[in-house]
Amino acid sequence: MFQLIYAGATPLVSGVDVMRFVPFLLIFVVFYFLLFKPQNDKMKKQKQMQDNLSVGDHVLINNGFLGKIAKIVNDNEVLLEISDGVKVRCLKQVIVEKRGN
């Protein structure tokens, strides 16, 4: 019955409407290459380092303790010697850096 007609109405897929989304797309691309990709690469490298730990490696854990791996308990845990005769059991996830043998 009633039909509304707007003067100057343009189709939804005109060049002007698509151009509105270009800045958002560019922002997403910049965020991907500056934030997401480096973070994923860092996490992958950290996981690879944790998987390749062996007995005798000197490591740094996230609370600042330096220690030597005395025993690998299982896939997720290690026995870490932080001083002469002082051994603590910790998760591999808390190991931040491998500092050599």
- Please write down the HEC assignment for all residues of 60-72: EECCCCEEEEEEE
Domain limit, last residue, from 12, 31, 52:
52
User: Where in the sequence is the domain holding 71, given as residue range(s)?
Assistant: 54-101
Residue 12 CA, distance from chain mean position? 39
Q: Are residues 36 and 1 in the same domain?
A: yes
Q: Are residues 5 and 47 in the same domain?
A: yes
Q: Are residues 9 and 32 in the same domain?
A: yes
Is there a contact between 51 and 34 (Cβ–Cβ < 8 Å)?
A: no
pTM above 0.85, yes or no: no
Q: Are residues 45 and 64 in the same domain?
A: no
Q: Are residues 65 and 94 in the same domain?
A: yes
Is there a contact between 27 and 21 (Cβ–Cβ < 8 Å)?
A: no
What proportion of the chain, given as a percentage, has pLDDT over 70? Answer: 82
Q: Are residues 37 and 69 in the same domain?
A: no
Sign of CA dihedral 75, 52, 78, 37: negative
pLDDT at 12 over 90: no
Split into its structural domains, the chain has a count of: 2
